[in-house]
Structure 1
């Protein structure tokens, strides 16, 4: 089973974030430009929340709020589920499934190292399954 650290090593090291006082419009524009579904909300180096497309749909669109006037802090998810570099892929999959979330910030202490998406986790599981299948096929063939 691969660890979170191993998954992060396969990704670009860039952390894409926005400040809590920025307008929601800027956050959504940044997500669109970067083709991502969530942004970390940070005050300096400190993680204070996460903003997802789901937050936008439920707290701006459905409530009739204006994204240009609403600050990110008003709609972000403040209680963020996080993982550590030593956690397993299996633990992360369980966490996203149980919590019904799609993004997991990775923290080492208070330092943000990156973000894993459900896509990153599914890709890792598929790779592990392929390796298991290859090993079984070699065993059967020998």
Structure 2
């Protein structure tokens, strides 16, 4: 393996980085019947911008702060009348742990979302965010610039 390949690999910048390398395994979940007020309180208490909604342990949707604002608050509706299932974005848009970072990024851009649950066999494994993916893209750009400087010197 070349020195450049080793350097890229050591920095996690080789091609084909799976999302499992970046995902957070700490995902906040709620059940579909959870009252919306409890969902919002959980998000505030856990300091997260989204929760994954599960039905009998299986992930079925996502609720973000934006979902609550757009679907309830902006319409001046009474939050106490809603459950997680009423507000969640569904069907769940997710990736598997082996999905390439660039494919996940393309999906997020196409679907205009900032978080992707990582699911395999109906089981929630983690979550990856747009910020996670952008950090890898930025590191790749910096590495390419470094390589171009080295190559340009020869």
The corresponding residue for 1:14 is: 26
Q: Which has the larger radius of gyration?
A: 2
Provide structure 1 residue ranges, at least 5 long, that are not aligned to the other structure: none
The corresponding residue for 2:10 is: none
| TM-score, normalised relative to structure 1 | 0.87
Q: Distance in 2 between matches of 1:61 and 1:102?
A: 21
The corresponding residue for 1:64 is: 76
| TM-score, normalised relative to structure 2 | 0.81
Structure 1 counterpart of 2:47, from 29, 32, 35: 35
Structure 2 counterpart of 1:130, from 139, 142, 148: 142
* Residue 140 (structure 1) shift: 2.8
CA spacing shift, 1:46–1:131, aligned 2, 3 Å: same
Q: Distance in 1 between matches of 2:63 and 2:33?
A: 12
Provide structure 2 residue ranges, at least 5 long, that are not aligned to the other structure: 1-14
Structure 1 counterpart of 2:92, from 74, 80, 85: 80
Q: How many pairs align?
A: 139
Q: How big is the alpha-carbon RMSD for the aligned residues of Structure 1 and Structure 2?
A: 1.6
The corresponding residue for 1:3 is: 18
* Residue 99 (structure 1) shift: 0.7
